[in-house]
Amino acid sequence: MKFILSCLFSCVFFIGFPQNYFDIANFTYTNTPSNDFEISDAHTTVKEIALELNFPVIINPKTTILTGLFLNKTKLNIDANLSSSNLNVLGLTIGINKVINDKWSATFMAFPKIASDKIKLSNDNLQLGFLTLFTNKKRDDLKYRYGVFANTENYGLIIVPILGLYYLNANKTFEANLNLPINADINFKMSNKLWLGIQFDGLGTTYNLNEQNYSANGAYVSKTSNELFSYLRFKLSKSLYINTKVGYAISRNYKIYDANDKIDLALSAFYFGDDRTQLNERFKDGAIFKVELFYRLHFD
């Protein structure tokens, strides 16, 4: 879910705030060097493409309807004994951003999606996510965010409290956009067409496996990956930008579990009642490379 929420945080706060933009479209390509498995001599790369499209509809200065489409495809060996597999996500965003007064606004979103090795509609492949977020503008260059995200993962319910901050300095050369523990972005404008930044992404997801030989009950993949990047952003035209990122994936896992192997509750990174048995072999952490091409609509 992190690629959905990253884009959402960039597009729901443009009304009345200093960044005054949102991203209409975002295409991302990710690749890794060969990653060794921890026990066997096998190895795998991780290749991922993601596309996000956002369609905000401004009803009036205080009300904006937020809609969008997102898809993601990851190709990797999820087990040392298997050939490469595809893990797919296809979903919609729908919600509303409401300006309450000069200091507060609220956002309410729903994210129905299919997450599995095969894009087909079924109860096992379907997940529902919900976001409630309140934004408090302290000054024209500073605002705070408070909210909660929940999603029906294959292992059960996850709830993520969100604390966020947006800051833009007076000459608009330093920008900090934090939405912890999901993501964080800090960048410095070096010229009119070049930015230097660091970014953190830290929210995982799950995928149902329709084709598998691990269990007669069915199985699912649980992905966790804390990714830290440095990047250069280039302005290609008035609205078109590209980010070139180099980073490292920390505590990266694509764990496979029996479909009936659940937890009681996930609260951010803390899993309660988790006595699940992993059915595959883990591969090691490593470097990660990413290219993002995005179309940004400005209101200056």
Q: What is the pLDDT of residue 16?
A: 40
The predicted model scores a pTM of 0.92
Query: Above 90 in pLDDT, residue 261?
Result: yes
When pLDDT is cut at 50, 70 and 90, the band that residue 162 belongs to is very high
Write the burial class of residue 67 (CB in 10 Å: 0-12 exposed, 13-18 middle, 19+ buried).
middle
For the chain, the distance separating the N- and C-terminal CA atoms, rounded to the nearest angstrom, is 30
Are 69 and 24 in contact by the 8 Å Cβ rule? The answer is no
Query: Above 50 in pLDDT, residue 14?
Result: no
Mean pLDDT of 126-155: 94
d(C-alpha 23, C-alpha 12), whole Å: 10
Residue type, 291: V
Strand partners, 47: 75
When pLDDT is cut at 50, 70 and 90, the band that residue 13 belongs to is very low
d(C-alpha 278, C-alpha 146), whole Å: 34
Mean pLDDT of 71-82: 91
Mean pLDDT of 103-130: 94
Task: Write out pLDDT tens, residues 184-213.
Answer: 999 999 999 999 999 999 888 999 999 999
Share of the chain above pLDDT 70, in %: 92
Q: What is the pLDDT of residue 203?
A: 80
Higher pLDDT, 193 or 15: 193
Task: Write out pLDDT tens, residues 18-75.
Answer: 456 778 899 999 999 999 998 988 999 999 999 999 888 889 989 989 999 999 999 9
Q: What is the pLDDT of residue 18?
A: 42
Highest mean pLDDT (candidates 133-137, 198-202, 242-246): 242-246
Mean pLDDT of 71-100: 92
Mean pLDDT of 242-254: 94
HEC string of the chain equals: CHHHHHHHHHHCCCCCCCCCEEEEEEEEEEECCCEEECCCCCEECCEEEEEEEECCEEEECCEEEEEEEEEEEEEECCCCCCCCEEEEEEEEEEEEEEECCCCEEEEEEEEEEEEECCCCCCCCCEEEEEEEEEEEEEECCEEEEEEEEEEEECCEEEEEEEEEEEEECCCCCEEEEEEECCEEEEEEEEECCEEEEEEEECCCEEEEECCCCCCCCCEEEEEEEEEEEEEEEEECCCCEEEEEEEEEEEEEEEEEEECCCCCCEEECCEEECCCCCCCCCCECCEEEEEEEEEEEEECC
Query: Above 60 in pLDDT, residue 12?
Result: no
For the beta carbon of residue 52, count every other beta carbon within 10 angstroms.
Answer: 24
Are 266 and 205 in contact by the 8 Å Cβ rule? The answer is no
Q: What is the pLDDT of residue 5?
A: 59
Q: What is the pLDDT of residue 23?
A: 84
- Give how far the C-alpha of residue 190 lies from the chain's centroid of Cα atoms, to the nearest Å: 27
When pLDDT is cut at 50, 70 and 90, the band that residue 150 belongs to is very high
Q: In whole numbers, what is the pLDDT of the chain averaged over residues? A: 90
Q: What is the pLDDT of residue 2?
A: 55
Mean pLDDT of 245-270: 94
Query: Above 70 in pLDDT, residue 179?
Result: yes
Are 158 and 130 in contact by the 8 Å Cβ rule? The answer is no
Q: Which residue has the tokens 């800090």?
A: 186
